A = this chain, B = another copy of it.
Amino acid sequence: MEFTNVTASALANIYFDGKVISHAITTASGEKKTLGVILPGSYHFGTEAAERMDIVGGRCTVILDDSEETLNVESGSHFDVPANSGFTIKVEDEACHYVCSFLS
């Protein structure tokens, strides 16, 4: 998967001592996204804006805040996270690659 005609930031975003790393892009229409990779482990992220998380490589399991359901998300699938909320994401075996779209 690739994004054309975008602006890409050279400085990476680094979380959890480098276990989660992303680079920010802005599309021609002004959409803010991050292209990221999650190494094996379990991590909780909070959200401000609502987010759409597209998994584009590997797989993960996700539990949204205020939910007890475990979502199994494979490459090619996505999950949505409400604004002002969060999710716990767990990756096993191989790295998981994602595209996070911030929904205004």
Q: Which of B2, B5, B8, B35 contacts A2 (CB 8 A)?
A: B8
Residue count of chain A within 8 Å CB distance of chain B: 28
Q: How far is the CA of A17 from the CA of B93 in the complex (A)?
A: 12
> Of all chain B residues, which has the CB nearest A97?
B11
The verdict on A25 contacting B37 (CB below 8 Å), with A18-B18, A18-B19 known, is no
Q: How far is the CA of A50 from the CA of B39 in the complex (A)?
A: 30
Number of copies: 2
A56 to chain B, nearest CB (A): 5
The verdict on A56 contacting B5 (CB below 8 Å), with A18-B18, A21-B37 known, is no
A14 interface residue (CB < 8 Å to B): yes
Inter-chain contacts of A9 with B (CB < 8 A): 1-2, 35
Given contacts A8-B25, A11-B97, A18-B18, 15 further A-B contacts (CB under 8 A): A5-B5, A5-B6, A5-B7, A8-B23, A9-B35, A10-B56, A10-B97, A12-B36, A12-B57, A17-B39, A18-B95, A21-B21, A21-B37, A23-B23, A23-B35
